[in-house]
Amino acid sequence: MPLATLEQLLAQVADGGMDAFARLYDVTSGRLFAIAFRILRDEAVAQDATQEAYVNIWRKAKLYDPARGSPIGWMSVIVRNVALNMIRADRPTEPIDDLDIPVAPVDPPDSRLGQCLKLLPADQRNAIVLTYTYGLTHSELAEHLSVPLGTAKSWVRRGMLALKERMQR
């Protein structure tokens, strides 16, 4: 679906348009469910996360700003945050050392993203993968990598800025 159409649908949803919301759901639900499922790895829980994400989209549609990103990107962040919050709420309180987190990053689903990630310095690449794939908070990331919190945050931020720049080329 064209970007302008999704923007139009979101604008109509912001005005309370139920038909627009139904159309938006029909067009985007498969992709948003895939994001939730990739994070949660459980179909039923991913369906719950997707449903909760759409409730948030309905409530927050007025906050969408086309100047800050695409509609699908905005909705993807919402579903990702819902899924990660579900993991955190369910996460046992075991020390981070006991978690099974590989040192090497996993292969991203988008080959272009993978190529751009490989061009980043290793510390930034690993910080991004651990944060966005495994859902580690900045504090957990700092603890896992045995670096100060500010360093972990910096690696993620600088890596994301560099990744964005490389993806736009």
Q: Which CATH architecture has domain 96-167?
A: Orthogonal Bundle (1.10)
pLDDT band, residue 134 (cuts 50/70/90): confident
| In the chain, ranges of CATH 1.10.10.10 domains | 96-167
Burial class (CB in 10 A: 0-12, 13-18, 19+), 17: middle
Q: How confident is the model at residue 105 (pLDDT cuts 50, 70, 90)?
A: very low
55 and 78 in contact (C-beta within 8 Å)? no
Q: Is the pTM of this model over 0.85?
A: no
Select the CATH number that applies to the domain covering 3-90 from these four: 3.40.190.10, 3.40.50.1010, 3.30.1370.10, 1.10.1740.10: 1.10.1740.10
Residue 100 contacts residue 120 (beta carbons within 8 Å): no
CATH 1.10.1740.10 intervals, the chain: 3-90
Q: What are 17-69's pLDDT values in tens digits?
A: 999 999 999 999 999 999 999 888 899 999 999 999 999 999 999 999 888 88
Per-residue confidence band for 96, with pLDDT thresholds at 50, 70 and 90: very low
